[in-house]
Structure 1
Amino acid sequence: MSKSNEIIRIASQKGYTINKAGEIINPKGQTVKGSTRRFKNCVYKTFGISHKGSSRPILVHRFVAYKKFGEVAFEAECIRHLNQNSLDNRPDNIYMGTYKEIYESTRNDIDL
C-alpha cells in the first residue's frame, strides 16, 4: 500500500470525516481549513494530519473517495471530479474512474 493511502486510512481511523459540502471535519467536529497545492496541471485541496511525529498532506478528493467508496477507492485508476472542478470535493461530485474518461470528458467540453 502506498504511503498516501496508508495516511488516508489513518486519518479515517483517527476520526476525520467529511460533510456534504466536501469539507474535512476533524475528530473535534471542526472544519479543517487545509490548503491548496498544484499537482500537474490542476490545483487540489489538501489537509494534513500528524502521525508518528510528522505531518503528511492528504488530497481531499482522495479522502472523500475513501469515505464514500471504502477500500476499493485505493484500487481505482484515478479519482474524478465529475464537474471537472478540482476544488469541488462534494461527495456527489467525486467518483472513481479512468484517465481515459477524464480525457474524453475534457475533450468533449473543448469540442462544444
Structure 2
Amino acid sequence: MRVLIVESDPNLGWLWKRHLERFGAEVVHVRDQDGAVAILEREEIDVIVLDLVLAEGSAIAVADYAAYRRPQARVVFVTNTSFFSDGSIFRHIPNACAFLPSATRPEDLAAVVEHYGSIG
C-alpha cells in the first residue's frame, strides 16, 4: 500500500509516517500543496492522509487534483479545527473517506489508513 501524507508539521508527519511504515505501508511525506501535486503526478497512491489546514497551499486543491489524477486514491482528512465538523466534507469532496482530529492516536490513524488502503 502506497500512502501520501500531506502535513505541514514535520514532527506530526514523521510520527504518522513511522506508524504507517510499521503497518507495512510505503509512505511519502510532503508539507504542502506543491509537494503533494508533484507526488500525485508521478506515483501511484492508494491513500492520502491530508491535513485540512496546510501552511502552504490548499488541501481542497490537493483532494481535487487527486480525484482527477489518482481517482482510486482515498483521502483521509485530519484537522485540528472544527471546520467541516458537521460532516459536510463528504458532500464537497467525493474521494474523502474519513475525517479525523489531528490528535487521533497514530496507531488508530494507521488502522484507518490500512482499512481504506485494503478496499478497492
TM-score (norm 1): 0.28
Higher normalized strand content (fraction of residues): 1
More helix by share: 2
- If the length of structure 2 is used for normalisation, what is the TM-score? 0.27
- Identify the structure with bigger relative contact order (alpha carbons < 8 Å, sequence gap 6+): 2
